[in-house]
A and B are shown apart, each in its own frame.
Chain A
Amino acid sequence: MKYKSQKVAYWFFALSMLLLVLQITYGFIMGFARIGFDNLHEFIPFNTARAVHTNLLVVWLLSGFMGAAYYIIPEESQRELVNVKLAYVQLISLALVGVAAVVGYHFNIWEGRKFLEIPRGLDYLVVVNVLLFLGLILLTLFKGKRQTTTSLVLSMGLLFAALLYLPGMLPFDSQVTDSFFRWWVVHLWVEGVWELIMGGILSFLLIKLTGVDREVIEKWLYVIVGLTFLSGVLGTGHHYYYIGVNKIWLIVGGIFSALEPLAFLAMALFAVNMYRKGEKKHPNKLALYWTLGAAIVSFVGAGLLGFAHTLPQTNLYTHGTLVTAMHGHLAFWGAYAMIVLAIISYALPNMTGRKLYESTRGRMAYWLSNIGMIGMTVAFGVAGVAQVYLERKFGMEFMQVQKEIEIHFVVLVLCASIFTTGIVLYIIDFYKHGTPTDEALELKE
Chain B
Amino acid sequence: MLSKKQARAFFLGGTLVTFLIFIGLTVYSLSEGQDQSNEENLTAKVVRGKEIWESNNCMGCHTILGEGAYYAPELTKVVDRLNLKYDGNGEEVIKSILMSEGPWQPNGRKMVAYNMTEAEATDVVEFFKWIGKIDLNGFGEVVGVDRKISPLSKSNNNN
Contacts and interface: CB of A to CB of B under 8 A. Distances in A.
Interface of A: 30, 33-34, 38, 41, 45-48, 50-51, 105, 108, 110-114, 117, 149, 173-180, 215, 218-220, 222-223, 225-227, 229-230, 233-234, 236-237, 240-250, 252, 256, 316-317, 319-322, 324-325, 387, 392-395, 397-399, 402-403
A233 B136 contact: no
Contacts, number: 201
Contact of B65 (A179, A220, A393): A179
Interface string B50-63: 10011111111101
A256 B25 CA distance: 14
B30 A245 contact: yes
B15 A233 contact: yes
Given A46-B60, A50-B60, A242 B14 contact: no
A325 B2 CA distance: 39
B110 A45 contact: yes
B18 A112 contact: no
B158 interface: no
B134 A252 contact: no
Interface of B: 2-4, 7-8, 10-11, 14-15, 18-19, 21-22, 25-26, 28-30, 34, 36-37, 39, 42, 46-47, 50, 53-61, 63-74, 106-110, 112, 127, 131, 134-139, 142-143, 147, 149-150, 153, 156
A319 B142 CA distance: 10
The residue in B18, B55, B147 that gathers the most chain A C-beta atoms within 10 A of its C-beta is B18
Contacts of B112: 45, 47
B136 A242 contact: yes
Contacts of B28: 246, 248
Nearest to B76: A320
Contacts of B74: 320, 398
A320 B22 contact: no
A405 B63 CA distance: 18
The residue in A179, A248, A316 that gathers the most chain B C-beta atoms within 10 A of its C-beta is A316
A350 B135 CA distance: 57
Contacts of B46: 173
Contacts of B2: 219, 223
B65 A176 contact: yes
Contacts of A229: 11, 14-15, 18-19
B39 A320 contact: no
Nearest to B69: A50
Contacts of B14: 226-227, 229-230
A112 B142 contact: no
